[in-house]
């Protein structure tokens, strides 16, 4: 029985750029985080991919592969806006079960649409809804299968603008033409582990029993892979937020300690605002700085569970005092993480501080920034980085436009 329909937006960042800017349509496009010569493409249009340009290709290499490529600076706010519009379009045809990433959503097929013919018809309605309500240049590949894993695999089998249905009775042999790394959940290290057990193809992996895969994976991940491969419905594992992080690669003009510190200050303030909005307290903070000409430096700090920006900034200052003092070191990137998150309903207040008054203060600051825009109220250490470290999108994390701009 078919149960899952997965919508994958093809070359999403580049497609949004082509939708917004007609002069880019039909041309090779590389989306970049900055126009620095040392950066790389974070996305490429299909016209660029034909020349071998892909995510991670350095600008100079992309230019060598495709002399006509047009580089555009990433506009993450627009990518999130288009994502929200796309969700509305999909949801107008079929309810979204789960957003998997900025460019993928998974839907449960309704009971009346679980035959191949009905599921295909529904998929075509989704494509048309996206075409008319979001844009004609946002193509999708839709995969349909008995579970989300198979639907995702199917969506990758025909790009761009594909539609692939895999039924349970076709499994696992329908996948035998793929490579191990084509399957979600099998990365470089897992492929190496499978190889050590004499498994180099999907056919070989499908031939072993569930107990053997459990042993190879080192846990229930092997059981879940076995069940997915054979078309069983595998419920999602419950997940919990364990950390909130921000990082930023410094453009050439900011590769100095003064700007690096200001950006870390700004990232810490952004993370504190996210923490409060998500309803958590933190007990542990880490910072790091990567150098162009030296090893990565990092420090950790622990404190009583808090949402207090001042405490985080004091921890930052304390850790910053321990950074390397060699003047020849040149910063390349900085980042920070809030760990040990405690949900608000499990938080134990302190007897020795006016925590309630502080929470009202930060609530007022957050509301001012939400209403009047970022940097309406901020701590002075971030003054020189007010317009630095803009919002970035990881494919498995869709930023909140209110807190991450």
Report whether 280 contacts 344 (CB < 8 A): yes
Q: Is 104 a known active-site residue?
A: yes
**DSSP β-ladder status, 29-32 and 43-44:** antiparallel
Task: Map residue 145 onto helix, strand or coil.
Answer: strand
Report whether 264 contacts 297 (CB < 8 A): no
Name beta bridge partners: 281.
342
- For 225-241, the three-class secondary structure string (H helix, E strand, C coil) is HHHHHCCCCCCCCCCCC
1's CB contacts (< 8 A; 6+ apart) are 114, 146, 168
> Which position among 17, 47, 104, 254 bears the catalytic label?
104
DSSP symbols for 161-173:
T-EEE--GGGTTG
Spatial CA neighbour of 179 closest among 195, 163, 168? 195
Rounded to whole angstroms, what are the CA distances from 325 to 161, 199, 298?
Answer: 53, 49, 14
Spatial CA neighbour of 272 closest among 296, 306, 299? 306
- Known catalytic residues? 104
């Amino acid at each position: 029985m078919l149960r899952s329909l997965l919508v994958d937006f093809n070359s999403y960042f580049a497609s949004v750029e082509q939708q917004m800017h007609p002069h880019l349509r039909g041309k090779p496009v590389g989306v970049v985080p900055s126009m620095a010569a040392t950066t790389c493409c974070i996305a490429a249009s299909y016209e660029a991919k034909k020349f071998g340009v892909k995510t991670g290709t350095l600008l100079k290499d992309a230019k060598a592969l495709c002399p006509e490529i047009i580089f555009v600076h990433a506009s993450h706010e627009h990518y999130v806006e288009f994502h929200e519009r796309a969700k509305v379009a999909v949801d107008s045809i079929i309810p979204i079960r789960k957003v998997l990433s900025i460019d993928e959503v998974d839907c449960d097929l309704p009971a009346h649409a679980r035959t191949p013919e009905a599921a295909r018809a529904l998929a075509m309605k989704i494509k048309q809804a996206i075409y008319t309500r979001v844009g004609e240049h946002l193509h999708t590949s839709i995969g349909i299968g008995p579970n989300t894993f198979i639907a995702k695999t199917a969506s990758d089998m025909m790009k761009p603008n594909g539609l692939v249905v895999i039924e349970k009775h076709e499994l696992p042999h329908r996948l035998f033409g793929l490579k191990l790394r084509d399957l979600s959940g099998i990365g470089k290290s897992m492929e190496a582990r499978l190889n050590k057990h004499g498994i180099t193809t999907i056919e070989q992996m499908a031939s072993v029993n569930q107990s053997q895969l459990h042993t190879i994976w080192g846990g229930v991940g092997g059981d879940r892979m076995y069940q997915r491969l054979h078309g069983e419905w595998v419920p999602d594992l419950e997940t919990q937020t364990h950390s909130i992080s921000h990082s930023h690669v410094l453009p050439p003009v900011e590769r100095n300690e003064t700007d690096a510190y200001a950006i870390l200050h700004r990232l810490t303030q952004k993370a504190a605002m996210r923490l409060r909005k998500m309803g958590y307290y933190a007990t542990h903070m880490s910072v790091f700085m990567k150098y162009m000409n030296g090893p990565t430096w990092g420090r950790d700090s622990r404190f009583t569970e808090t949402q207090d920006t001042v405490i985080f900034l004091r921890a930052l200052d304390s850790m910053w005092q321990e950074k390397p003092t060699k003047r020849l070191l040149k910063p390349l990137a900085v980042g920070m993480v809030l760990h040990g998150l405690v949900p608000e309903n499990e938080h134990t207040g302190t007897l020795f501080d006016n925590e309630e008054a502080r929470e009202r203060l930060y609530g007022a600051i957050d509301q001012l920034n939400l209403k009047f825009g970022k940097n309406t109220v901020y701590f002075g250490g971030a003054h020189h980085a007010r317009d630095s470290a803009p919002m970035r999108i990881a494919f498995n994390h869709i930023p909140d436009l209110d807190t991450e701009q």
